[in-house]
Amino acid sequence: MTEPANSASPSDAAAHERGARTATRFRRLALIVLASLGIMASVAAGVAFGLYKSATAAVPEYEAVVAIDPLRAETQRREFESQLSTLVSDTQALPEWKTRVTADQINAWLALRLERDFPGFQQAGLVAPRVILEEGLAVFAARSEATGVEGVITVALRPLVTETDELALEIESAKIGRLSLSLDLVMGLLRQSPLPNMSPIRLSQSDAKAAVIVDLDRLEAGRDKALRLTGVDVRPGELLLRGETTTPQP
């Protein structure tokens, strides 16, 4: 878990403003990642309409995490936001930083804050999104109510850091219920969506691999600093991030 860091004095207005901007960028990055996982749901549901039984099949992994206890979730939501605040402080004060968050904390925030802070997911037919963290994989799952098909869409991603320090979310699989969607179909849906126009996102596909790439250079820790992600580890129930705060060369 991230250890508290010595941050700038609260009376330093400039430092406070930089921290607020960095926190906003982290929240925006989280939203972009969520969008990259779920933005295909409404269109893909239309593809699945003719295969209703397979598309509406239950997904036990999702059913196991979708229900929450309100009191426990509120505590976990606060823990998640505290982790974010500490991470922001660390990126400003430390040359190297790391953090650990759990799937329960992420899902508590998704349940209690996503639609309030970033409205529009339900309007797009994407309901009750959750994250399932497995060994090496982050699985996004949500109910899709688009086009009358009430199925559960799941997208399994393998996060990794590229040689150019970008965050790559390799698409391992995508399904609605038990119905598998091909990578070509998934990438086609993503290219037709607003996602490619969302900075700092780009799409990559070659041979049998496809990925959503996030350019982390767009996340700045201050006027004279930049963030560099050095590692992403996904373990059952938890996500670990490691990185550095660097001073760009003129």
| Chain CA centroid to CA 36, Å | 8
> CA nearest 173: which of 186, 163, 161?
186
Residue 161: beta bridge partners?
167
Q: Report residue 61 as tokens.
A: 């992994």
pTM of this structure: 0.77
What one-letter code names the amino acid at 80? F
The label of the residue with tokens 């959503």 reads 212
pLDDT in single tens digits along all 250 residues of the chain: 554 445 555 555 655 565 555 556 666 656 555 555 555 555 555 555 556 677 778 899 999 999 999 999 999 999 999 998 898 888 888 999 999 999 999 999 999 988 787 666 666 667 888 999 999 999 988 887 765 667 888 889 999 998 888 888 899 998 888 888 888 877 877 776 666 666 677 888 887 788 888 876 655 555 577 778 899 999 999 999 998 988 766 6
Helix (H, G, I), strand (E, B) or coil at 232: strand
Distance, in Å, from the CA atom of 176 to the CA atom of 52, rounded to the nearest integer, reads 10
